[in-house]
Structure 1
Amino acid sequence: MKCFKPTLPLSLLIVLIAFTRLSAQDLTKQAAAAIKGEVKTELILTVTDVDKLPKTTIIQKDRADKEYTYSGVELGIVLKNAGVTMAEELKGKNLSKYLLVEASDGYQVVFSLAEVDPSFTSRKIILANRKDGYLLSPEEGPFHIIIEGEKRKPRNARQVISLTIKFTD
């Protein structure tokens, strides 16, 4: 029977493990997305905030045809909580507003507000913070836009850090 012999002193190894755990907890606390622009109340939405809101799940396949269950909150609910023009107010000039989703890697996606408003569509778009029950990895999170029934997936933005409401020019 072979014994594992660490190359680092045990005390240093313990400190590194503790630091790694603290860093993961700190990252979870800092994982957030700003909701800003043409809103009544700008918000900073954390992973914990999303866990407190009503959950919606969407099952989606990746490129290798493997199914995953994403859970989070419907994007329309998040925007409504920030006071974005929705439902009966979404008419006339307000229909020229759009949502700009920005990711930490610079990726951007645009949606009309009607696309994310449940009073206009039955298709679900969620701001997911969990995949198969676990928090999203740093490569995918803190948040991932998941669109139900989307044939192509380039608008399923990952690493979402900002949701900005704007008027078209």
Structure 2
Amino acid sequence: MKRYKSIILLALLLISTLHLFAQTQTTKSSSLSVTGEVKTSLTLTTKDLEKMVKMELKATDRDEKEHSYSGVELATILRLAGVTLGAELRGKNAAKFLLISANDGYRVVFSLAEADPEFSQKKILLATRKDGSLLPESEGPFKIIIEGEKKKARFIRQINSIQVKYVQ
């Protein structure tokens, strides 16, 4: 009987440890940092984005199947971080760019003007949902969707950071 209790106790301890590890990994991979040439560095979660004004874009995937993506306009996130946009995006500030990185090391670049609605009519969405559901793990929790983009190379998935930088 004593051995049976020890095995149960050990099993409960193992389950608790695995649960704690899983929570740590989920928290680590489901946040997005916004750093660099910003007034306020941010760390955002899907819950944070759920509280913000939503935008929806339709886009096709690699198989040419159309999906409806929902999330927050990238410019909204940049404004929240105090990034130079609008009338201030001129002179040396016009040489700023966004370096967006994914969990697997993939990275893409946008000029800051591309993400600014005062410069471009093309919308850039930081998506958290696809066809009404949270993005699948293979794509999310954050994915960039670009309105009217012909090639999907910059539809970066599993984003973990956005850095605002100057061209050197």
TM-score calculated relative to the size of structure 2: 0.84
Q: CA deviation at 1:27?
A: 2.5
1:133 alignment counterpart: 132
1:8 alignment counterpart: none
Give 1:32's aligned amino acid. S
Instruction: Sort the Cα spacing of 1:28 and 1:129 in 2 relative to 1 into closer, same or farther, 3 A.
Output: farther
1:46 alignment counterpart: 45
- Output aligned runs, 1:27-106, within 5 Å: 27=26, 31-106=30-105
Find the aligned partners of 2:72 and 2:156 in 1 and give their Cα distance: 15
- Output aligned runs, 1:12-27, within 5 Å: 23=22, 27=26
Find the aligned partners of 2:22 and 2:136 in 1 and give their Cα distance: 14
1:109 alignment counterpart: 108
Instruction: Sort the Cα spacing of 1:26 and 1:106 in 2 relative to 1 into closer, same or farther, 3 A.
Output: closer
Instruction: Sort the Cα spacing of 1:24 and 1:134 in 2 relative to 1 into closer, same or farther, 3 A.
Output: farther
Q: CA deviation at 1:24?
A: 7.7
2:117 alignment counterpart: 118
Find the aligned partners of 2:117 and 2:146 in 1 and give their Cα distance: 13
SS at match of 1:48: helix
Q: CA deviation at 1:134?
A: 0.8
Give 2:57's aligned amino acid. I
Find the aligned partners of 2:163 and 2:124 in 1 and give their Cα distance: 16
SS at match of 1:93: helix
**Per-residue CA distance 1:112-137 (angstroms, 9 max, x = gap):** 00000011111100100111111112
SS at match of 1:94: helix
Alignment gaps of 5+ in structure 2: 1-10
Alignment gaps of 5+ in structure 1: 1-11
Instruction: Sort the Cα spacing of 1:38 and 1:32 in 2 relative to 1 into closer, same or farther, 3 A.
Output: same
Find the aligned partners of 2:151 and 2:28 in 1 and give their Cα distance: 32
Which of structure 1's runs of 4+ aligned residues deviate more than 2 A? 22-30
